[in-house]
Amino acid sequence: MSVLIVGSTALDSIKTPKAENPRLLGGSASHAAVAASFFSPVKLIGVVGEDFPKNYVDLFRRHKIDLSGLQIQPGKTFHWSGEYEVNMNNRRTLLTELGVFENFTPHLPEAHKKSQFVLLANIAPALQHHVLDQMKKPKFVVADTMDLWLNIALADLVQLLKRIDGFVLNDSEAHQLTKEDNVFAALKKIHRMGPKYVIIKKGSHGSILSSPRGFFICPAYPLHNVCDPTGAGDSFVGGMMGYLAAAKGTVDANIRRAMIYGSVVASFCCEGFGLNSTTKARRADIEKRVKELEKLTKF
């Protein structure tokens, strides 16, 4: 089965203590789509401007990503710029130029409306609602978010939580949403807001799932060198959704392993700027890291 992914398709200018790279292919949907494409066919919903480089379209095509829902509009592609501190965990946004993103309304081609697995990657909650409004009985819908929407679109986000199966957010966002310092208390509160599956990401410390089958602690793959963590969260959830769409059996039976695959794809993302390292990974490389994680967590 395929995964439908909506989110941002961006040009990212990224500064780390060691290097600076302008106008890389980025955006939540781009990272998630490439990650999911290792496991299942992907349909991308987004918008880019006329300045969007052809080689980035070619990259999506090499990953066999269906671009019939990608709008190309007059104007500039969404441009985001961020700078990392020496520890590579703290990041500040330097610039956000919305461009064609400002008036984006996601339109789903007829064939996309029956998609069973839907990932509402980081984008304004109103647009996430708009995609769901067009869907016909999806089987499993997961949403991601960011602190910006908790600050400026909380009411929309809270409404969205009632309509989705799974919600993925990082630990500081979980704290902001629930005012709970304890991650397990935060998970409980978020369940009460709607989603059956809640995943709190803790960066290089992995993630925690709370689900009808209980908790699962998912490790991050141990990396000695992080080049650029931009998009790691999107790669994690994209990889997880791609794996789930391809797997036989229930979501409950597969979600833990799906998280491990997501975690491994995220590790490749961190090893290069933008999507440079993710796109070089092969399925065999992913399987090797999954086996390593299995060994590391067995006792």
Under the binding rule (CB under 6 A), the answer on residue 99 touching ligand AMP is no
Q: What's the token pair of residue 248?
A: 């036989």
Mask for 232-251, x = binds ligand AMP (CB under 6 A): xxx-----------------
- Regarding 13 and contact with ligand AMP (CB under 6 A), the answer is no
Q: Is 123 in the site for ligand AMP (CB under 6 A)?
A: yes
Binding residues for ligand AMP, rule CB under 6 A, total 16
Can you read off the two tokens belonging to residue 94?
Answer: 């330097």
Instruction: List, edge to edge, every strand of the sheet that includes 3-6.
Output: 65-73, 42-49, 3-6, 117-120, 140-144, 166-170, 197-201, 207-211, 214-218
By CB under 6 A, tell whether 77 contacts ligand AMP: no
Residue 235 or 247: the one with the smaller Cβ distance to ligand AMP is 235
Distances (CA, A) of 134 to 54, 61, 111, 266, 298: 29, 25, 11, 30, 43
> Which C-beta is closer to ligand AMP: that of 234 or that of 271?
234
Q: Is 228 in the site for ligand AMP (CB under 6 A)?
A: no
254 binds ligand AMP (CB under 6 A): no
CB within 8 A of 54, min separation 6: which ones? none
10 near ligand AMP (CB under 6 A): yes
DSSP, collapsed to helix, strand or coil, labels residue 2 as: coil
Angstrom distance (rounded) from CA 77 to CA 73: 9
Residue 197, number of CB atoms within 10 A of its CB = 20
Contact 74, 50 (CB under 8 A): yes
Q: Select from 39, 52, 56, 80 the one that contacts ligand AMP (CB under 6 A).
A: 80
Site string for ligand AMP, 26-65 (x = CB under 6 A): xxx-------------------------------------
Query: How far is Cα 261 from Cα 232, in angstroms, rounded to an integer?
Result: 13
Q: Which range of residues in 21-29, 57-65, 158-166, 203-211 is near ligand AMP by CB under 6 A?
A: 21-29
231 binds ligand AMP (CB under 6 A): yes
- Residues that bind ligand AMP in the complex, under the rule CB under 6 A: 8, 10, 12, 26-28, 80, 96, 122-123, 148, 230-234
